[in-house]
Structure 1
Amino acid sequence: MSINNYNKIIVIGGGYGGLRAVENLAKDKNNQITLLDKNAYHFMQTDVYELIANEKDFAKVSVDLFTYCSGFEGNVSFYKQEVENIDFENKKVITDTQRFSYVYLIIAVGARTKFVKSIQGLKEYAHGVKALHRAMYFKQKFEMSLFKKVQESGVTCKALSIVVAGAGLSGVEIAAQMASYAKEFYCENNFLCRKLNIVLVSSSKQILKGLDDFLVEKSHKRLLDLEVVIKSEARVISLTQESVTLSNGETIPMDFMIFAGGIEPNGLIYKLDLPKNERGFLNINEYLQAGSKKEVFAIGDCATLYNKGELIAPTADVAEQMAELCSENIMRMGTNKKLKAHDIRSRGMLIALGRRYAVGKISNIYISGFVAFIMKKLIEKVYFIKLDRRSKKGCDKIFNA
C-alpha cells in the first residue's frame, strides 16, 4: 500500500490519554501514527505520592516513549520534540525542529501546576509535582531534610515543617503519604528526633471539595490520625524561604512547600486559535472535537468535558475514556460513519492515604482501609505491566535489529 493511502495521525502528548489513543489506533495497520512529546518518557502522575515517599523509584513511575512506540508493528513513531504551534489551515504541526503533516490530530498535552503570580514568592519557594523532574527534586529534598533532622538528633532538634497548599486529590494524597512515611521512617529506625509537622491548607471549609461525603469524611479522619494539621478556609498569600503567610493572617514556619492549589493548560494551548473557556482550557463538542476543524480532537486535562451539564473532574480514568472514544470517532470518520457522542463519567475513585490505607468508591460501592489499598495497587500494577511489556518488546527490536 502506498504511504499516501495511510491515515496520518498525530498525537501530541504522551500522557494517559495520548498513550491510550496510540494503542487503540495502532490496531489498524492503515494508520500511521506519530507521537510527539517534549519529554522522552511517560510519567504516571497517579503514582507520584509513592515516588515522593520512597516506595517506588523513578523507573517504576515512568516508561520510555522511544521503546514503547517501537513495540508496535511498525506504524507508530515517536519524536522527542516540543510542539510550538499548529497550522490548522494546512494541517501542519510545527515543532522546534520540523513540521509534520496530519490527516487527523489529537491534542493531549495535559495540564501543569498553576503558580499564581499574585502569590509573592510562590514560584521561588514552592514545588509542584505534576512534572517528573519537579517530583524528583522534591523527593530528594524531602529525604535530605529527614536526614538533617536525624543528624541534629537530641531533644533540641527542630521539627521538620512541610506545608501542602491545596486540599484536592493531589494535596491530600501527598500530605497523607509523607506523614505516614516519615512516622514509619523515624519509628522503625529508632531515631530520637521524630518531630514532623505537616500542614494541609484548604481554601474550602472541607478537603476534597465536591467529592462524595464518605470519601471526604474517611480522608479527613485519616489525616487527623496521621497528625496532619488542616487549615480550612485559608489561602496562601505569600512565601519566604522559611515561612508561609495565610489569608487569615497566620504565619507558618516551613522547610518547604508543595503547591497543589490548581492547574492550568500547558503552554501550547495558549497559542492555539481554538475555543477556550475562561480558565484557558479547550472547549470540545460531544464528539471531542475542538473548534470548527472536524479532524482535530482534544482529550485529557487540556480540555473541558461536561456530562449533562456537569463538569467532569480531570482524572487518568476520564482521559483514557476520552482516548478510546476519540480513536473510535477517527475510525468512523475514515469510513464515513456517524460519529459517536460521549457519555463519559467517572467510573470510580481510589484515594491513597498513607501506607496500606486507601478509601474509594467503585460503581457506587464504598471501600476503605487495606482492601482499598490493595485494589489501588492492583490497578496501578496492571497499568504499568501493560506499558512495560510493550516497552520491552520495543527495546528488544531496537537492540536485536
Structure 2
Amino acid sequence: MEGRTRTVILGAGYAGLRAAMELDRLLGVRHPGKEITLINKHNYHQFITRLHESAARGDTGDEDVRIPLAEILGGRDIRLVKDTVTRLDRNRRQVETEGGAHGYDYLVVSLGSLPEFFDIPGLKEHALTLRSLNTARMVRTHIEGMFARFKNVVDPWERNGLLTFVIGGAGLTGVEVAGELADWVPELCRRYDVDPLEVRIINVEASEDILPGFAPDLVEYARNLLGEKGVRFVTGTRIARVKDTEVRLGSGEVIPTQTVIWAGGIRGNPLMAEAGLTVQGRGRAVVNEYLQSVDDPRIYVTGDSAFTVDPESGRPLAPNAQLAIAQGKVAAYNIYADMKGLPKKRFRPQSVGVLASLGPGKGIGMIKTVRAKGLTAALAKEMVPVRYLYSLGGIKLLAKKML
C-alpha cells in the first residue's frame, strides 16, 4: 500500500494499548505515511485486573490502578484522541465519535466489555459493577456509606441488610472482591464502631463450585481461608431477582441487603453487532485465526471484544488480560505484515498461568505445572503489575510509578 496508511485503534486497555505500541515499534520512525490513532474514553490506562483492590481495599488509591497515557506514549508516534466511540461505519471505513469522525485503512477494535445481566429482574437497576476506575470508586464509596448509615440508624428494621454485601459470581473477580472486602471489614468496623458480627459477605455462584480453572486443592484452600474471614459461599444456585432491599436466590432463599456487586459475566460492546459484524458468545465479534473479523479483513478485534476459539480444544477462550496483551501484539504484527506484503501470524494462545489474590498477603496460583498458595502466590501476584509496567515503559516508568 502506497501513501498514507491510517490505522485506528479503539480502546487503550490491555489489547488496544499493546497493539498501538507494537505497531509503532514495528513500523519505526521512518516509515512513510505512518499514521496511528488511539481513541480512548479516558486519558489514562486502567489496570482492570486490580480494580477489586480499588473497590474493596481501604489503602488503595486511584493512582495505584491507573497511569496517564501520556506517560506511556511519550516519544512514540501515536496520536491519542480522548473521545467516546458512537458508531463503526464499515462502508465509509470510518469511526464516528462524539467529537467527529476518523477514517481508517485498518481498524483494531479493543473496546472492552459490558456487564452481562442475563435478564435477571432488577439486577441491572440495583447492582454495582467493576468495569472501570469510576465504577470501582462507586463501590468503595457505597460500602463506606453503608457502614456510616448503620452507625447512625437506630431502628432494627431499617438496619436490616445494611451490612450484608452480596457478590454475584465466584470467578476470579468475585472471589478477589470478597477477599479484599473481608480484610477491609475490621478497619471499617473500628472506624465506625460497628460489631464485626453484624457484617455478612455472601458470594453467590450458579455453578457447583468457585474459581473455575483452578485445581481442586487450591479451590479448597481459598474456600477455607475466606470462610475463616467470614465469607459465605452459596454455590449451585443463581441470583433470581434483585430489589432495592433484598436478593432472591433460585433456591428460594431471600437475603436482605442493599449492596449487590455483580461479577457474574460480561458481553461485547454492542457497537460491533450494530456495525454488522458476526457476533457470538454474548456479543463478541467472531474472528479468524489472524484476529480479523470474519466479515471484514480490514478490521481486527482483540481482548474482551473478540470471540476467539482455542485451535486445539475448539472451545471459546475466556477473556483475560494475558490473552488481550498477546492478541494486541499479533493484531499489530498482522497489520504490519499486510502493509509489507509479508505472511501473517496465526494467533496461538499460550497461558503462563493464573493467579488470584485472597486479600493482602494471601493468594493461589497455577503457573504452568506449579501450584502455589499463601504468601508465595500473593508475591507472584504482586509481581504481575511490576512486570507489566516494565513492559510498557522500562525501568524509567516503573521507577516513577512504584517509588
Q: After superposing the two structures, state which structure 1 stretch, 318-327 or 141-150, moved more.
A: 141-150
Match of 2:8 in 1: 10
CA 1:136–1:390 in structure 2 vs 1: closer, same or farther (change >3 Å)? farther
| Residues 67, 391 of structure 1: 8 Å contact kept | no
CA RMSD of aligned residues (A): 2.7
Match of 2:45 in 1: 42
Match of 2:69 among 65, 90, 101: 65
Q: After superposing the two structures, state which structure 1 stretch, 263-272 or 172-181, moved more.
A: 263-272
CA 1:385–1:141 in structure 2 vs 1: closer, same or farther (change >3 Å)? farther
Partner of 2:323: helix, strand, or coil? helix
**1:89 Cα deviation after fit:** 3.3
CA 1:190–1:164 in structure 2 vs 1: closer, same or farther (change >3 Å)? closer
CA 1:13–1:68 in structure 2 vs 1: closer, same or farther (change >3 Å)? same
Match of 1:398 in 2: none
Match of 2:96 in 1: 94
CA 1:392–1:5 in structure 2 vs 1: closer, same or farther (change >3 Å)? farther
Q: For 1:255 and 1:356, how far apart are their aligned partners in 2? A: 30
| Residues 128, 258 of structure 1: 8 Å contact kept | yes
After TM superposition, the score normalised by the length of structure 2 is 0.88
1:128 aligns with 2:129: yes
| Residues 214, 366 of structure 2: 8 Å contact kept | no
| Residues 150, 193 of structure 1: 8 Å contact kept | no
**1:287 Cα deviation after fit:** 0.7
Match of 2:105 in 1: 103
1:51 aligns with 2:54: yes
Q: CA deviation digits over 1:253-294, x for unaligned, max 9?
A: 113110111111123223121121152211101111112422
**1:299 Cα deviation after fit:** 0.5
1:273 aligns with 2:276: yes
Amino acid at match of 1:257: V
Match of 2:371 in 1: 366
Q: For 2:192 and 2:10, how far apart are their aligned partners in 1? A: 49
Amino acid at match of 2:18: R
Alignment of 1:158-307 (within 5 A): 160-186=163-189, 191=193, 193-194=195-196, 195-277=198-280, 279-307=282-310
The alignment-based identity, stated in percent, is: 27
Amino acid at match of 1:319: A
Q: CA deviation digits over 1:182-234, x for unaligned, max 9?
A: 135546x6946222100011101111234432432222222212221111111
Q: After superposing the two structures, state which structure 1 stretch, 202-211 or 384-393, moved more.
A: 384-393
**1:148 Cα deviation after fit:** 4.0
CA 1:165–1:284 in structure 2 vs 1: closer, same or farther (change >3 Å)? same
Amino acid at match of 2:61: D
Match of 1:399 in 2: none
Q: Structure 1: where are the runs of 5+ without partners?
A: 396-401
Q: For 1:103 and 1:224, how far apart are their aligned partners in 2? A: 53
Match of 1:335 in 2: 340
**1:357 Cα deviation after fit:** 0.4
After TM superposition, the score normalised by the length of structure 1 is 0.88
Q: For 2:47 and 2:249, how far apart are their aligned partners in 1? A: 32
**1:165 Cα deviation after fit:** 0.8
Match of 1:82 among 77, 81, 84: 84
Q: After superposing the two structures, state which structure 1 stretch, 156-165 or 251-260, moved more.
A: 156-165
| Residues 18, 323 of structure 1: 8 Å contact kept | yes
Q: After superposing the two structures, state which structure 1 stretch, 140-149 or 19-28, moved more.
A: 140-149
| Aligned structure 1 segments of 4 or more residues deviating by more than 6 angstroms | 155-159, 388-393
Q: For 1:303 and 1:146, how far apart are their aligned partners in 2? A: 40
CA 1:230–1:165 in structure 2 vs 1: closer, same or farther (change >3 Å)? same
CA 1:355–1:151 in structure 2 vs 1: closer, same or farther (change >3 Å)? farther
Q: CA deviation digits over 1:131-167, x for unaligned, max 9?
A: 22221111111122234445679x9986711000111
